[in-house]
């Protein structure tokens, strides 16, 4: 409605003119079925029942009627933060009845969203909510995969970046069953509606390729709907991003945190640096069959490819999974870890009770082989004493297919010599049903032919003294065992004659099967500073050379909330989806509007969540504005995450623990940075100093920003720009936090606040290596009672509301256990306390017990004995060792570019004496190190004005 008289008039000119233009001359009225639900309203199109509008009750809700508001006696005007509607009723009385009814709904069932909430959030605090936490991506992605598998109605996903080919559970022994796109396809085929919101990047600025992600998902099934936002030119949004990381299942289970479902995020507390992967097979001549390790399985092959000796020499095929640091240091990067898994053979009794498996056709086998080439195959010549050796790295699926599917192709492969240094792209893993078939075939094959290295059975078809006993039976007179063998192997001929009878051979080789399945496949193996994402449409092609470049470990934190809080997270997603739908595909009925579910009688079944759940009070927080959430007014902004941060800091009594990707926050009134995190930390520390109270602030952040480039070279401008603002906030300049504390009379600010990072080390090809652990968490814990976790960084982009869109949850404990705070008894919240203690144990290397290490108690985070004598002492000691052994960058020893050049030209002890540093490196405790506050302190790190980064506005970096 409103007068627009060909653009010459506005609705404010004249009420009657407005009515005339909208209702008489250029009428746009449409008949609709209007509805009002518990927390929303909207209308349908009568002719086909298509949902044409959904509006959520919010704090901007207002309703009025009458001539002045609508220009009609029977009109009704409804306004919210995101929509403005005018409805014309048949009578004035009906309009007033509707107005009265909607006001009642707004003040009753929808009052949680129409009345002010704590921290000025769109959602209220929800008591009695079940919630759990995840540290690092492995447990998070596994739980998300289980939740997706348990979905019964709908799935909502929104990420800054999403990789369809990401494996949610690892190692990938089930083929691609737990690959994200396959999970979503499987659920879509079951009738589950899946809605995905992706950030639409500027192609020249970011390489996350959201278009490819969308195409890969929508082609899976018609029930998968993907929208990308924003359209930069149309919306005029060039610098801001959708940064939320949410997964919502059935509007009942919501995962909220800092972990995107994309490459590089999967990790665990071990934070491995290397992943050479695959099953390694070392081959030696029979004339010199010594090996450097005890073989797991010895396989003898003749020149014709007979696998008779394989059958004789093995009772099982063990496939290792992952490498821990101790094993990596003891052997090499391809050594398997303690947590190995094996494909175990079932007993003969169990095998005989199983039903016969249908024969697999030869074409199926060939298709499997063709679509699953070797993950990595390397052939090298070397070894002492003129020994000729070959090393084959074969994927887990290939190991099975070699034994069961390619028996008749071995001869051809054996006759063809292997070229040197062959490498192939990481393959797409097999489907789960194929892997199951292969496993079953392996078990049946094993149970039917139980030859060992020491003895042979005397059944038909077995080799005795170089000859083979075999009974050739017609198809109509096959024994039960022979019939099952035919079912197992197809029509490849008599099993006994063709498999167990080796042909005469000239050369004998032995294969040692030992190794592991890759944990990071293709693009998932990444080091962001060395090489950022490119060519994501080739997911199985590595970005970097694994044999020379270590991966960058990833540390992150996320949560899961159930019930009403999950409904609130879903409500935020629905608001965003409907806004994008209205903006981009209003007339496309295949992309529907979404409706929020009722908050009454929420049914929760959390059996599929393999994580401890605790009863808490939870509030959903966000940074939202007109561009990212569809608000009508540009000045309508929500920054409840920032409000929750500053209030929590102000009310903290004993300590604050922060993990964040950035720390960009300056003194108020600086004219550049607007958020008040550092200002409130300053006030709280000054108050503790004035009151002579013990108060601690832990800050853990990455050693360097995760931008591709050389920190000391021409390619590291973006990296240095972020580094500048981090240090300007922490220690450099009069507006920095440490300088302000000293100016306030606090001579020893490190008695109150300390800045740290994470680093780890390993070996690669026998050489010691190290790399920073990238801290991507967005976490605050206060007093073992309050947790704020989500997607928001400590910078203006995330916190002031008008820039990046973000979602966090604020969790307050409702259940407590006995704890300690500054040496005194203290009620420790179970959710917050257990999360904080787990993080401390991870960073201090306490998750795996070491008998020779003195016990460390992390119960009391405030007492001097822990703050000074454990946390800060271990951090300083680790930092000193890394500097002495590896000459790491960044370092306090490097304060200028000139110093960096000379610093890097000198070889480190790890390069000069790699065998002599093991004892020193073994004294490193955990991953905790100091943030080097003097790194490049003599240089100007802001972008040069002539560079493209220098032409960008300053607020893009902050």
DSSP class per residue in 207-273: ---HHHHHHHHHTT-TTEEEEEE--HHHHT--S--B---EEEETTTEEEEES--SSTT----TT--S
**For residues 385 and 264, which has the higher predicted lDDT (pLDDT)?**
264
pLDDT at 729: 96
Summarize pLDDT for 751-768 with one digit per residue, the tens.
Answer: 999 999 999 999 999 899
Measured CA to CA, the distance from residue 397 to residue 368 in angstroms comes to 10
pLDDT band per the 50, 70, 90 thresholds, residue 379: very low
Fold for 31-115, please state it. Answer: PH-domain like (2.30.29)
Residue that the structure tokens 């494909």 belong to: 343
pLDDT score for 708: 87
Which is higher by pLDDT, 114 or 311? 114
The encoded tokens of residue 481 equal 């065992």
849 vs 937, higher pLDDT: 937
Question: Looking at residue 444, what is its pLDDT?
Answer: 57
**pLDDT, tens only, 315-353:** 333 333 333 434 433 333 333 333 333 333 333 333 333
pTM score, whole prediction: 0.76
First to last CA, the chain: 41
Element (H, E) at 809: strand 806-813
> What's the pLDDT at 424?
37
- Nearest CA among 397, 281, 259, 264 for reference residue 334: 281
Sheet holding 40-44, edge to edge: 33-36, 40-44, 51-56
Average pLDDT over residues 236-258: 95
Where in the sequence of the chain do the CATH 3.30.870.10 domains occur?
124-270+553-584, 614-956
Residue 552 has pLDDT above 90, yes or no: yes
pLDDT digits (tens, 9 = 90+) for 669-715: 888 999 999 999 999 999 999 999 999 999 999 999 988 888 888 88
pLDDT of 547 above 80: yes
pLDDT for 219 equals 95
CA–centroid distance for 83 within its chain: 35
CA 173 to CA 190: how far, in whole Å?
24
* Predicted pLDDT of residue 333: 34
CATH number corresponding to 124-270+553-584: 3.30.870.10
CATH fold of 614-956: Endonuclease; Chain A (3.30.870)
Q: Of 146-160, 474-488, 841-855, which range is least confident? A: 474-488
Cis bond before residue 171 (omega within 30° of 0): yes
pLDDT at 207: 87
How remote is the C-alpha of 358 from its chain's centroid? 39
| pLDDT average, residue stretch 550-563 | 97
| Structure confidence at residue 396 (pLDDT) | 39
Q: What is the mean pLDDT of the chain?
A: 79
Which part of the chain has CATH 2.30.29.30?
31-115
Helix (H, G, I), strand (E, B) or coil at 826: strand
Compute CA distances 564 → 123, 561, 620, 812, whole Å: 10, 9, 10, 15
Q: What pLDDT, in 10s, does the model give residues 437-480?
A: 555 655 555 454 443 333 333 333 333 333 333 333 344 444 44
* pLDDT at residue 789 is higher than 50: yes
Q: What percent of the chain lies above the pLDDT cut of 70?
A: 72
Lowest mean pLDDT among 71-80, 101-110, 444-453, 543-552: 444-453
Can you give the pLDDT at residue 637?
95
Q: Is the pLDDT of residue 926 over 60?
A: yes
- pLDDT tens-digit profile of 710-750? 888 888 899 999 999 999 999 999 999 999 999 999 999 99
Going by pLDDT thresholds of 50, 70 and 90, the confidence category of residue 365 is very low
Reading the block at residue 78, the tokens are 């409804």
Q: In the predicted model, is pLDDT for residue 419 greater than 80?
A: no
Q: Which residue, among 933, 892, 958, has the nearest Cα to 739 in the 3D structure?
A: 933
């Amino acid at each position: 409605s409103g007068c627009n008289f060909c653009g010459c008039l506005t609705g404010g000119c004249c009420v009657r003119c407005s009515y005339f233009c909208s209702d008489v001359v250029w009428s746009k009225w449409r008949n609709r079925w209007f509805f009002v639900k518990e927390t929303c309203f909207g209308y349908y199109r009568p002719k086909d029942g298509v949902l044409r509008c959904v509006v959520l009750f919010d704090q901007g809700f207002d309703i009025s009627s009458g001539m002045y508001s609508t220009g009609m006696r029977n009109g009704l005007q409804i306004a919210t933060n995101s929509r403005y509607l005018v409805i014309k009723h048949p009578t004035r009385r009906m309009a007033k009845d509707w107005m009265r009814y909607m006001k009642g709904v707004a003040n009753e069932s929808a009052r949680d969203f129409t009345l002010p909430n704590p921290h000025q959030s769109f959602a209220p605090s929800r008591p009695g909510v079940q919630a759990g936490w995840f540290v690092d991506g492995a447990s998070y992605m596994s739980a998300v995969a289980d939740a997706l598998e348990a979905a019964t109605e709908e799935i909502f996903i929104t990420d800054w970046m999403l990789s369809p080919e990401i494996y949610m559970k690892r190692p990938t022994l089930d083929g691609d069953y737990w690959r994200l796109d396959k999970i979503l396809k499987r659920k879509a085929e079951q009738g589950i509606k899946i809605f995905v919101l992706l950030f639409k990047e500027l192609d020249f600025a970011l390489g996350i390729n959201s278009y490819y992600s969308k195409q890969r998902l929508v082609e899976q099934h018609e029930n998968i709907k993907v929208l990308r936002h924003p359209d930069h030119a149309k919306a005029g949004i060039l610098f801001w991003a959708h940064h939320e990381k949410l997964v919502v299942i059935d509007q009942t289970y919501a995962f909220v945190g800092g972990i995107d479902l994309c490459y590089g995020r999967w990790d665990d507390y071990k934070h491995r640096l290397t992943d050479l992967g695959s099953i390694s097979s070392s081959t030696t001549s029979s004339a010199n069959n010594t090996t450097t390790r005890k073989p797991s399985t010895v396989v003898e092959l003749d020149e014709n490819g007979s696998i008779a000796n394989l059958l004789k020499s093995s009772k099982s095929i063990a496939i290792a999974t992952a490498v821990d640091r101790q094993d990596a240091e003891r052997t090499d990067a391809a050594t398997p870890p303690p947590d190995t898994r094996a494909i175990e053979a079932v007993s003969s009794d169990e095998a005989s009770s199983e039903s016969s498996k249908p024969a697999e056709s030869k074409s199926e086998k060939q298709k499997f082989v063709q679509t699953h080439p070797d993950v990595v195959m390397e052939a090298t010549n070397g070894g002492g004493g003129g020994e000729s050796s070959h090393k084959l790295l074969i994927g887990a699926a290939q190991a099975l297919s070699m034994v069961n599917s390619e028996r008749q192709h071995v001869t051809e492969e054996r006759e063809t010599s292997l070229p040197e240094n062959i490498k192939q792209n990481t393959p797409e893993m097999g489907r789960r049903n194929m892997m199951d078939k292969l496993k079953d075939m392996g078990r049946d094959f094993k149970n039917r032919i139980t030859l060992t290295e020491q003895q042979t059975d005397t059944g038909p078809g077995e080799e005795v003294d170089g000859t083979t006993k075999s009974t050739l039976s017609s198809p109509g007179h096959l024994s039960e065992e022979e019939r099952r063998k035919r079912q197992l192997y197809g029509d490849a001929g008599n099993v006994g004659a063709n498999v167990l009878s080796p042909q005469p051979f000239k050369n004998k080789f032995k294969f040692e099967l030992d190794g592991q399945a890759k944990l990071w496949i293709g693009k998932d193996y990444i080091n962001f500073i060395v090489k950022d994402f490119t060519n994501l449409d080739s997911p199985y092609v590595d970005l970097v050379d694994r044999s020379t470049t270590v991966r960058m470990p990833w540390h992150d934190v996320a949560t899961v909330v159930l019930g009403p809080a999950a409904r609130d997270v879903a409500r935020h997603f629905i608001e965003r989806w409907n806004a994008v739908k209205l903006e981009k595909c209003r007339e496309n009925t295949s992309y529907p509007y979404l409706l929020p579910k009722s908050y009454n009688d929420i049914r929760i079944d959390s059996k599929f969540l393999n994580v401890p759940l605790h009863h808490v009070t939870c509030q959903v927080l966000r940074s939202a504005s007109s561009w990212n959430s569809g608000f009508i007014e540009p000045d309508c902004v929500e920054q409840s995450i920032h409000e929750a941060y500053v209030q929590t800091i102000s009310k903290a009594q004993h300590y604050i623990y922060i993990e964040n990707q950035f720390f960009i926050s300056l003194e108020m009134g600086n004219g550049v940075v607007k958020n008040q995190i550092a200002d409130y930390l300053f006030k709280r520390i000054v108050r503790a100093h004035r009151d002579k109270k013990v108060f601690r602030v832990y800050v853990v952040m990455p050693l360097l920003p995760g931008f591709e480039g050389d920190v000391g070279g021409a390619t590291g401008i973006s990296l240095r720009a972020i580094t500048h603002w981090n240090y300007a906030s922490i220690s450099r300049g009069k507006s920095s936090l440490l300088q302000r504390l000293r100016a306030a009379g606090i001579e020893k600010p490190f008695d109150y606040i300390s800045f740290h990072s994470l680093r780890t080390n390993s070996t690669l090809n026998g050489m010691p290596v190290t790399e920073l652990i990238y801290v991507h968490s967005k976490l605050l814990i206060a007093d073992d009672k309050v947790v704020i976790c989500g997607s928001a960084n400590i910078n203006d982009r995330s916190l002031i509301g008008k820039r990046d869109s973000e979602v966090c949850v604020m969790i307050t404990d409702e259940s407590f256990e006995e704890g300690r705070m500054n040496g005194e008894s203290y009620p420790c919240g179970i959710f917050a306390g257990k999360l904080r203690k787990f993080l401390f144990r991870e960073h201090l290397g306490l998750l795996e017990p070491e008998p020779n290490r003195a016990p460390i108690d992390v119960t009391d985070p405030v007492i001097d004995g822990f703050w000074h004598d454990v946390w800060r002492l271990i951090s300083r000691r680790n930092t000193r060792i890394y500097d002495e052994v590896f000459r790491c960058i960044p370092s306090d020893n490097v304060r200028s570019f000139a110093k960096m050049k000379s610093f890097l030209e000198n070889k480190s002890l790890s390069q000069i004496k790699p065998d002599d540093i093991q004892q020193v490196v073994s004294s490193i405790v955990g991953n905790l190190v100091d943030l080097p506050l003097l790194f490049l302190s003599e240089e100007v790190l802001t972008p040069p004005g002539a560079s493209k980064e220098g032409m960008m506005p300053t607020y893009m970096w902050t």
